[in-house]
Chain A
Amino acid sequence: MTKGVAITGMGIISAIGNNVGENFKSLSSLSHGISYPEILDTVHKKLPVGEIKFSNKDLAEKLGLKSGHSFTRAALFGAIAATEAISEAGISENQLKDTGFISGSSVGGMDMTEKYYKEFKGSEENRRFIQAQHPGFTTTQIADHIGFKGFVTTPSTACSSSANAIMLGARLIKAGKLKRVVVGGTDCLTKFTLNGFNSLMILSSERCKPFDENRNGLNLGEGAAYLVLEDEEILKGKKVLGRITGYGNSNDAYHQTASSETGEGAYLAMNEALKSADISSEEIDYINAHGTATKNNDLSESRALQRIFGKIVPEFSSTKSYTGHSLAAAGSMEAVFSILSLQHNQIFPNLNFQTPIKETGLYPVQEGTRKILKNILSNSFGFGGNCTSLIFSTNGE
């Protein structure tokens, strides 16, 4: 088994908490964060979402930003989560100068574009948000706020963006190109995505039911999460929370939005992740599944799981039943949850499940479960066929 890349800090803000501790508490007490939109300005008041109940003004105050700032909502989330991550890892201001920052995002500052699109022409007031539409702007805002001066970039592969950010960060450290990098992603709820997924008819009007025969769609969510990755050489006895031991990326090459029936991309990504971790499928103790609760994803992912693991699929669950699907941020949020699982030897159960999917008969974990966990597989799949699987492992003393 490969030793993997050390994770020395993590931070998160989601619908179930403003930091790692609050998220852990919610997951452990099976408390979901699904509600109706109150902050997002939309006519769809009856579509459940995993919304963070702070206005942009509240979030800006938390960060001590002056009025007239040009932070997007995703940048506000990102700055909060990244601050927590570097604080836990004990990164000094001086160390930030050569720390890289890789932050996945799919909609970037679309929240500002949709708010001011019709106003830009007539009024000068909000034109500072014109550039904000493009995800690189949000990443740069977070990097400037924190003071990251190393390599900065933004993977954008829809719902696998932050998983690809984690993968790139781990690869850059392994290849010796970076010593320290903060990786993850951020996305906020927008009218654009809510209406987009609604037009595809894959939003549920109730709390989502991942892996249930009667699942009827996903709940969108929002938030940000980051991990601090550090090279062995600079660890110097620092506490290691867990390790990234495997990663795989593959394209389903089937349809722009739908997953193939056999879950080819998912299968190949998981297979490659196992290969890169140099472990067998039996060594996976738990899977934090992509599990969006759409008809298409959950069947395709279940089939891919059966192809990888055969008759005995390890315990698995989708934590999107707590947070909703936070798109580009989902992969890094679920990375934080996976590391919490490793740290506490605890599986956070899949909520709202009743009946297994007919075609596959798989049961996700339904109750809080304690179990020695060494290796966790985490899946993230997105539009464009982009499939990424990550393996997180204990530090292994």
Chain B
Amino acid sequence: MYINGIAGISAQDENSIFSGAPLKYHKNIIPAVYPDFKEFIPAMALRRMSKAVKMGLTASKMALKDAGISHPDAIITGTGQGCKQDTEKFLESILDNQEGLLAPTSFIQSTHNTVGGQIALNLKSYVYNVTYTQNSGSFESALIDAQVRFMENPNTQPVLVGGVDEISSVITSFLYLDQQLKREQISNLELLKSKTPGTITSEGAHFFVISAKPYTNTYAELIDVTLFGAESPEVVVTRLNEFLIKNNTSEEDIDLVILGNNGDSRYDHFYNQLQKGIFSNITQLAYKHLSGDYNTVSGFAMWLGCKIFKTGKIPQSLKINTTEGSKPEKILLYNHYLGENHSFILLGTP
């Protein structure tokens, strides 16, 4: 599979990442830097849309444009927490009105497949359309579905795959209460030095146009993706070895790893153990101090991998070790959240 069109909306803009001056925040819930949605969505429709729909639809249209296609052969979306803003709105109106008369709009837009449905509506596209919601494995689930589509039929035309998650005022703030977020407010750029439980969160949408064959403007080969459970770093290493063998790759072939360290003192040992062990001679990057952590953040990591291949530049602000490698030809992504839904994504130069 090859990645031919990419688009990302996140707490950073592309320029700030690659110019060496990433955007700084001093709060644990960080909204994305929004593009001008009006360029992509009619103003009338925009008014009714939640952030997830605006970001998802915009990123998907940007990715299609980037790949130079107008109609994908499938629309596969991952979202860990779906349309929280509309869910919150409708739930609060139920609870505050004791189930009295309610307006249906926010209910209609609360289902997890709202973004996927809106993409289909906007493109007037009848093609295969599925949404996955498996916490931090939602985007990976969507990639795996796409992979199976190409296995079933190598003539499958390019498909659109993406991940999207939004923040909402109350439901996202609950993450402070069960220690998913750090109790103390920190600066995002200090995240990886943190020694306390919890992380920082944000939102975003990352969409990709994936095809069976490379194009002239291809960013990367998407060699393989896997999603698994692991109760210890040792299991992760075992799964990694299986994954590399399956793809005829050894750890020496990996030039760059992009890791999901999120500054959570309870769970970063999964990454740390690999950093000190199997990845010790490989250039290591981390990114959640730029993007925040949320369920489909591996879309951001894959977007980064694509950009690194394309530009040949590795942003200094992402480096977490001093190993200098050659120009990367294979990049491995590893992510998990709270020790669950671990994933590897293996990218290669086209």
Contacts and interface: CB of A to CB of B under 8 A. Distances in A.
Interface in B235-272: none
B111 A156 contact: yes
B46 to A, nearest CB: 15
Contact of A253 (B120, B131, B141, B151): B120
B229 A152 contact: yes
A137 B137 CA distance: 11
A153 B111 contact: no
A250 B138 contact: no
Interface string A352-393: 000000000000000000000000000000111110000000
Interface in B92-120: 92, 94-95, 98-99, 101-104, 107-114, 116-118, 120
A42 B113 contact: no
B95 A114 contact: yes
Contacts of B152: 171, 174-175
Contacts of B109: 256
Contacts of B90: 192, 195-196
A158 B108 CA distance: 11
Interface string B186-199: 00000000000000
A388 to B, nearest CB: 9
A192 B94 contact: yes
Interface stretch (A16-24, A127-135, A289-297, A307-315): A127-135
A174 B149 CA distance: 11
A253 B133 contact: no
Contacts of A139: 134
A213 to B, nearest CB: 25
Contacts of A253: 120-121, 123-126
Given A43-B98, A136-B133, A256 B108 contact: yes
B163 interface: no
B197 to A, nearest CB: 14
Nearest to B122: A253
Interface stretch (B9-17, B171-179, B273-281, B285-293): B171-179
A277 B194 CA distance: 55
B99 A134 contact: no
Given A131-B178, A135-B133, A200 B127 contact: no
A60 B299 CA distance: 37
A384 B113 contact: yes
Contact of A155 (B108, B121, B132, B175): B132
Nearest to A252: B126
Contacts of A127: 177-178
Q: Shortest 7 CB-CB distances between A and B: which pairs?
A: A384-B117, A196-B107, A136-B135, A156-B112, A384-B113, A199-B104, A251-B120
7 contacts: A113-B91, A135-B133, A136-B80, A156-B111, A196-B107, A249-B130, A251-B126
Interface of A: 42-44, 105-106, 108, 110, 113-114, 117-118, 120-121, 124, 127-128, 130-131, 133-137, 139-140, 143, 149, 151-158, 164, 168, 171-172, 174-177, 191-192, 195-196, 198-200, 249-257, 264-265, 268, 382-386
Interface of B: 75, 80-82, 87, 90-92, 94-95, 98-99, 101-104, 107-114, 116-118, 120-121, 123-135, 137-138, 141, 144-145, 148, 151-152, 170-171, 174-175, 177-178, 180, 227-229, 295, 340-341
